[in-house]
Amino acid sequence: MFDETKPDDLVTNTPLEPATPTVTRLSDDSPDAARYRAILQRQIDQGAKRAADVITTIERDQPRDQIVRARAAGFDVAPTHGIRVRVADDWYQPTDFALGQIAGRAGVPLQYLRELAAPQSAPWQHQLASEILGQHHGNAGDVRVLVRSVRGQLRGWVSDKYRRLDSRPLVDALASEARSAGAVPIDGAATETRVAIKLIVPRILEPIPGEFLVYGGEWSNSDFGNGTHSFRTFALRVVCLNGMTRENLLKQVHLGARLSEEIEFSDRTHRLDTAASVSALRDVVRGALGPAGRDRMIEHIRAAHERAMSKTQLSTATRALPKQVQKSVVDAFESPDVINLPEGNTAWRASNAISWVARHTEDAELRLDLERAAGSLV
């Protein structure tokens, strides 16, 4: 999997030289060099374990696939566990995300369905929830659904056109290309429906006077329809380890040929699609973590540092965020803090305000979304 070379060897012994003369390097005899290396090393040490946990999750949680005609599915409500779904002879408890997919395909508002199926709701409401889902799916004609489950938990209720990419060879390819680029894992996140791993090339750069950064990429995938297979570049401020995920270099919508009812053919299609995706991922990671990709990021950071941004503009740019989260972002932007955030009312400070809030967000799904929102400002 990932290179077993100790991260501190890479951080302390890798020459801190820019790819081009336009990128200022952090001098070895700088008074800040040892301190910044120590900060980065701590993050690498902690993040490597989180990345390893993601890989363990990928290896362990391989989905079980079943194709079912929507009209053949069954639904009921268990008083203490909510909605259950029957596929063939098996009953499954759906995740909240999968329940949203089921409700969406039935054209039923998810919040209404949650209220009907809540433990405190009356028996007639539970019965109504089952009846609504049963009637909508029972009259769906010949529509087929790919049901993806893990250890008895229903995690995906997707189209039978869904392209199934096996995350195991994808993460192997990521590790291989990371080693070639001298990159090391620095973070990872795994939710019920999405996985992500972050890598950095541990060379500390100074694209803006007094701003010390490292550059890297974030790979993510969902086996259950919660986002696409992607690889995004990002920059990490070393002084406070704010991180923002900027551009999506590889975006694969998980749609493909309609799955055959023959399981053997579906497995073969699955393997071929994954092999093509592995090859594409290798190409993208190789280019993104190389000098050209790093220089593009530096140019965007410098431009964001020079672009003024007001509180009103930031509020408008983050209006899609939950209200309380948006308020936290704006408060951070307006605060006098110039340690955890760069100085000035700029797009670069605004981006870091979002990623600073992301670092203090426990919800892994929301954290990933915030980091991407931060990148959109750069």
Q: Is residue 215 part of a domain?
A: yes
Which of these three, 159, 193, 220, is where a domain ends? 159
Of all residues in the chain, what percent carry a pLDDT higher than 90? 51
Of all residues in the chain, what percent carry a pLDDT higher than 70? 85
Q: Does one domain contain both 196 and 277?
A: yes
Q: Does one domain contain both 147 and 241?
A: no
> Residues 108-161: pLDDT tens digits?
999 999 999 999 999 999 999 999 999 999 998 889 999 999 999 999 999 988
Residue 325 clears pLDDT 90, i.e. is over it: yes
Q: Does one domain contain both 171 and 284?
A: yes
C-beta separation of 97 from 90 below 8 A: no
Q: Is residue 274 part of a domain?
A: yes
The number of domains in the chain is 3
Highest mean pLDDT: which range of 43-47, 56-60, 163-167, 232-236 = 56-60
Q: Does one domain contain both 172 and 287?
A: yes
- The mean pLDDT value for 351-372 works out to 86
Residue in this structure with the two tokens 């063939």, named with its chain if needed: 88
Q: Is residue 146 part of a domain?
A: yes
C-beta separation of 164 from 263 below 8 A: no
Q: Indicate the average pLDDT of the chain.
A: 84
Domain region containing 245: 7-61+165-291
Pairing of strands 144-150, 90-94: unpaired
Q: Is residue 11 part of a domain?
A: yes
Q: 3 exposed, middle or buried (CB, 10 Å; 0-12, 13-18, 19+)? A: middle
Q: Is residue 353 part of a domain?
A: yes
Q: Does one domain contain both 154 and 186?
A: no
Residue 365 clears pLDDT 90, i.e. is over it: no
CA neighbor of 151 nearest in space, from 102, 100, 93: 93
Q: Does one domain contain both 42 and 19?
A: yes
Residue 92 clears pLDDT 90, i.e. is over it: yes
Q: Does one domain contain both 211 and 132?
A: no
What pLDDT is recorded for position 13?
30
CB atoms within 10 A of CB 164: 21
Q: Is residue 299 part of a domain?
A: no
Q: Does one domain contain both 239 and 273?
A: yes
Q: Does one domain contain both 79 and 52?
A: no
> Residues 4-49: pLDDT tens digits?
444 333 333 333 233 332 334 555 556 677 888 888 888 888 888 9
Q: Does one domain contain both 107 and 173?
A: no
Residue 239 clears pLDDT 70, i.e. is over it: yes
Q: Does one domain contain both 51 and 74?
A: no
Which of these three, 121, 144, 159, is where a domain ends? 159
> Residues 52-85: pLDDT tens digits?
999 999 999 999 999 999 999 999 999 888 999 9
Least confident of 85-99, 184-198, 241-255, 361-375: 241-255
Can you say whether the dihedral through the CA atoms of 195, 9, 215, 353 is positive or negative? positive
Which of these three, 256, 291, 326, is where a domain ends? 291
Q: Is residue 340 part of a domain?
A: yes
Q: Does one domain contain both 180 and 49?
A: yes
How far lies 362's CA from each of 190, 197, 249, 275, in Å?
A: 12, 17, 27, 34
CB atoms within 10 A of CB 22: 11
Q: Is residue 207 part of a domain?
A: yes
